[in-house]
Structure 1
Amino acid sequence: MPAAEWLVPRIVRRRATVTSGQVETIFARALGLFGLVFGAQTVPLALQEVDALVPGSGAALMAVLYGAIVALAVATVTKVAVRVACLGFAAIYAASLVTWPFLVVDPAALDDSPPWLYYLCTVATTAAALALRPLWAAAYTLVVPAVYGVIRLTPAGGEADPLLAVLDALYAVVLGVVVLAIVIMLRQAAVEVDTAQEAALERYDVAARQHATEIERVKVDALVHDSVLTTLLSAAAATTSDQQSLAARMARDALLRLDEAGATGASALDQVGLPVLVRRLRAALTTFNTPFIVRVVNAGGVELPVDVVDALYTASVQAMVNSLQHADEPGRRARRELRVRGVRAGGCVIEVSDDGVGFDRAAVPAERLGLRVSIEERMANAGGSARIESQPGRGTTVTVAWPVGAAGSAGDDA
């Protein structure tokens, strides 16, 4: 038992230092900050080159690009539509770069200076790295600097020496590739941490069960020592009818206590209060680094069979783990909720929901067992039900209920 007691609190207190959500937040906010810094640095040069452009187009170009940078910074701070803001800026920058030669009407006014757009190239490639899949981000990182290198050779780009144009383009490519590599590596590391977190949760659940089993064993051992052995010794030493009668009463009392011990063990017929399940779920949440909003309604006075509590707990934790692994999108952490509702005196409905990327249920491969076995079949075997509602881009809600039909009546009791 001491080993189990040591193991459980150690696992509960352990927290991951890096998660997918943290990585995305750090990268996004760094991009927003450096975008503002780089944008501010380009303002003097942009003002100098306004006279070289079509009248009014310089101011319009600055307004669009600087506005996109500000919108990107706001999105990264508020964690709202970060991926959209990154995609928007990357697209606007690429479009601005392509249209630059058509906007320049007086190349001499550039005074052989590079287009001020060049100094925002790294911001654009970083935004693409956060918003696009690695292959598309890599293509963007290579193509956009190459386009700039070509423009740099033209009068609209200052008619730079070919070597200088190539070096400028290569410099932008190197910076973009380094950033992309860092993003990919840290994302992979975060996924590994999330996987380890799920494994830690499973170990915690096993350790908690072992701890409870050990406590029950100690209690039974004490009962055997205090009642059964004492009764046997008394019966062996009984020589008179009174002593034999006392031994018989002791035996009946020992049998009664053994029956009571069996009844209070973790049997399928044992009843457990719903607050016990809520405490177990809250304990599981302490192993997650990503928060869940927890709402509990009508938990008092609700009792459930032990095997049902185990099924509800395991299915709910699996749903939460699935949300942690799949709901977040690059640059945005989903909002997650855990709702527990008691139904009359002997039922329960648990909802695990998020507003993440969602998925198409029909597209889930048959060999993926997280939904079918860990949630739906587990609840069906316990006499309950499970419902999974999700659409791409609209989040996911997993509802587990016991007994069957409890989910339909929970709203009346809530």
Structure 2
Amino acid sequence: MVAADWRASRLAPRRAAVSRAQVETVSGRALGAFGLVFGAQTVPTAIDQSAFLVDGAGAAMMAVLYGAIAALAAATFTRVAVRGAALAFATLYVLCLLAWPFLVVDTAGMQQQTPWLYYLCTVATTASVISVPAAPATAYTTAVPAIYGIVRLTPSGGAAPPLLAVLDTMYAVILGVVVLVIITMLRQAAESVDAAQEAALQRYDVVARQHANEIERVKVDALVHDSVLTTLLSAAAARTPAERQLASRMAGDALRRLEEAAIEVPGTADRADVSVLARRLRAAVTGFSAPFVVRVSDTSGVELPVEAVDALSSAALQAMVNSVQHADGPIGRVRRELEIRGVGAGGCVIQVVDNGSGFDPSQVPASRLGLRVSIDERMANAGGSARIESEPGRGTRVTLAWPAGVDGGAS
């Protein structure tokens, strides 16, 4: 019954938790899509109002803003330089808005008309939310509609009545604040999920180490039972000189084994089968919000020092955490793989691969410890090696090898 329930839980669909990277991807692509829609809607009005501007100014303004919108949409759907493209559009929009009163030469023609820039105001405020932290985004969301309201009052902006200018300003502010609040709340919720997942993995690592300590305790208990107690019982039952001589030899052997156990350094002399490592990582995979395809090969009879098993396990867990948190793909689209392969009688190679957004390893700040300490240094301290291969938009491959140098034939 228990086995059946366990199999049912494994087969039941698991709802994927939304990570910060996924929130950024969805928000960015929504901005790119709506920017194209809103931009397309303003084209007829922009063409009509170009006649009221300095010759060539209308065409230049349309080329700048519509080109920025197209670049923003391309960046959001390729997940390359999204924040830079959003910041560029938000900046260009403000510059165009400030330049508008100086470019309009036919103020009579603009009477009772709404400058076409107004319809892109929400796109610009959303771009600021995507590209900068909450505080400057809040300032932008309130300041830019206020600038538009001032322009709206001037003859070049249609000489709108003050009440209408205020209403237009407040409408743009409300829309911008709603978008700001929604994205900020989603980011905070996703960060909480990421933090909870990281804490769960850390707790798992502690439990795994406690389990290793328990195994060591059981081993010592078995040594005491098999050697010490057996020797004491044999000595107590000895009646003949031969039996006493046997008990004496057994006592000497027990003392030698106890001395060896006392000076043994845990994690150095102890060895564990690679299958133990595979079971540990398989168990960890079930706790992730994103699925991994797990492949295990050539592990039969392969044994590693316990220290190497701990290092490989911890580094692989960190690599999988990084993939789940930063691969930055839409839910269900990123493929993640975990391969565990034995090499010879005492070597192992682990690969954590995904086809997500990737990154430039040379651009990772030194303050980010996940790669430098949790993977590189951990493997190096245990006598192994770590190789990280990644490019923006091309996915990531992390190769862990013990001992160092055995990964030459890794695929």
Deviates more, 1:160-169 or 1:319-328: 319-328
SS of alignment partner, residue 22 of structure 1: helix
Question: What code does the residue aligned with 1:125 have?
Answer: T
| Alpha-carbon distance in 1 for matches of 2:372, 2:176 | 42
Q: Is 2:60 aligned against 1:93?
A: no
Q: Is 2:121 aligned against 1:124?
A: no
| Alpha-carbon distance in 1 for matches of 2:269, 2:13 | 33
Structure 1 residues 361 and 299: CA distance shift in structure 2, 3 A: farther
Structure 1 residues 209 and 127: CA distance shift in structure 2, 3 A: same
| Alpha-carbon distance in 2 for matches of 1:29, 1:267 | 49
**Following TM superposition, by how much is the alpha carbon of 1:21 offset from its aligned partner in structure 2, in angstroms?**
1.8
Q: Which residue of 1 aligns with 2:408?
A: 411
Q: Which residue of 1 aligns with 2:34?
A: 34
**Following TM superposition, by how much is the alpha carbon of 1:268 offset from its aligned partner in structure 2, in angstroms?**
5.7
| Alpha-carbon distance in 1 for matches of 2:43, 2:59 | 11
Question: What code does the residue aligned with 2:153 have?
Answer: L
Q: Which residue of 2 aligns with 1:254?
A: none
Q: Deviations over 1:276-317 (max 9, x none)?
A: 535643553443335779898986775422331122111332
| Alpha-carbon distance in 1 for matches of 2:363, 2:46 | 50
| Alpha-carbon distance in 1 for matches of 2:300, 2:81 | 40
Residue pairs, 1:307-326, within 5 angstroms: 307-321=307-321
Deviates more, 1:89-98 or 1:336-345: 336-345
Residues 277 and 309, structure 1, Cα contact 8 Å, conserved in 2: yes
Q: Which residue of 1 aligns with 2:22?
A: 22
Residue pairs, 1:95-174, within 5 angstroms: 95-174=95-174
| Alpha-carbon distance in 2 for matches of 1:381, 1:364 | 19
Q: Which residue of 2 aligns with 1:76?
A: 76
- Structure 2 length-normalised TM: 0.69
Residues 107 and 156, structure 2, Cα contact 8 Å, conserved in 1: yes
Structure 1 residues 76 and 322: CA distance shift in structure 2, 3 A: closer
Question: What code does the residue aligned with 1:111 have?
Answer: Q
Q: Which residue of 2 aligns with 1:66?
A: 66
- Structure 1 length-normalised TM: 0.68
SS of alignment partner, residue 91 of structure 1: helix
SS of alignment partner, residue 304 of structure 2: strand
SS of alignment partner, residue 55 of structure 2: coil
SS of alignment partner, residue 40 of structure 1: helix
**Following TM superposition, by how much is the alpha carbon of 1:401 offset from its aligned partner in structure 2, in angstroms?**
4.2
Question: What code does the residue aligned with 1:69 have?
Answer: I
SS of alignment partner, residue 139 of structure 1: helix
RMSD, matched Cα? 5.4
Structure of higher RCO (CA pairs closer than 8 Å, 6+ residues apart): 1
Structure 1 residues 29 and 381: CA distance shift in structure 2, 3 A: closer
Identity value in percent: 64
| Alpha-carbon distance in 2 for matches of 1:148, 1:362 | 40
Question: What code does the residue aligned with 2:281 have?
Answer: L
Q: Which residue of 1 aligns with 2:281?
A: 281
Q: Deviations over 1:71-105 (max 9, x none)?
A: 33333333333223322322222222122223212
Question: What code does the residue aligned with 2:43 have?
Answer: V
**Following TM superposition, by how much is the alpha carbon of 1:347 offset from its aligned partner in structure 2, in angstroms?**
3.0
Structure 1 residues 400 and 219: CA distance shift in structure 2, 3 A: closer
**Following TM superposition, by how much is the alpha carbon of 1:165 offset from its aligned partner in structure 2, in angstroms?**
2.1
**Following TM superposition, by how much is the alpha carbon of 1:412 offset from its aligned partner in structure 2, in angstroms?**
6.0
Residues 358 and 395, structure 1, Cα contact 8 Å, conserved in 2: no
Q: Which runs of 5+ in 1 are unaligned?
A: 222-235, 237-265
Residues 194 and 325, structure 1, Cα contact 8 Å, conserved in 2: yes
**Following TM superposition, by how much is the alpha carbon of 1:125 offset from its aligned partner in structure 2, in angstroms?**
0.5
Q: Is 2:52 aligned against 1:52?
A: yes
| Alpha-carbon distance in 2 for matches of 1:122, 1:131 | 14
Structure 1 residues 20 and 341: CA distance shift in structure 2, 3 A: same
Question: What code does the residue aligned with 1:287 have?
Answer: G
Aligned residues, how many?
394
SS of alignment partner, residue 304 of structure 1: strand
Q: Which residue of 2 aligns with 1:261?
A: none
Structure 1 residues 102 and 340: CA distance shift in structure 2, 3 A: farther
Residues 79 and 357, structure 2, Cα contact 8 Å, conserved in 1: no
| Alpha-carbon distance in 1 for matches of 2:409, 2:388 | 21
Residue pairs, 1:3-402, within 5 angstroms: 16-205=16-205, 269=269, 271-274=271-274, 277-278=277-278, 280-281=280-281, 283-289=283-289, 302-321=302-321, 344-350=344-350, 364=366, 374-375=374-375, 378-379=378-379, 382-384=382-384, 401-402=401-402
Q: Deviations over 1:117-161 (max 9, x none)?
A: 101100111011011122222232222222212211222111122
Q: Deviations over 1:348-388 (max 9, x none)?
A: 455668876668899756xx976777556654664445688
**Following TM superposition, by how much is the alpha carbon of 1:27 offset from its aligned partner in structure 2, in angstroms?**
1.2
Q: Deviations over 1:149-187 (max 9, x none)?
A: 221122211112233223322322222122112212211
| Alpha-carbon distance in 1 for matches of 2:345, 2:400 | 17
**Following TM superposition, by how much is the alpha carbon of 1:24 offset from its aligned partner in structure 2, in angstroms?**
1.2
Structure 1 residues 364 and 67: CA distance shift in structure 2, 3 A: closer
Question: What code does the residue aligned with 1:181 have?
Answer: V
| Alpha-carbon distance in 2 for matches of 1:216, 1:94 | 67
Q: Which runs of 5+ in 2 are unaligned?
A: 222-235, 237-265
| Alpha-carbon distance in 2 for matches of 1:21, 1:64 | 29
Q: Which residue of 1 aligns with 2:230?
A: none
Structure 1 residues 34 and 345: CA distance shift in structure 2, 3 A: same
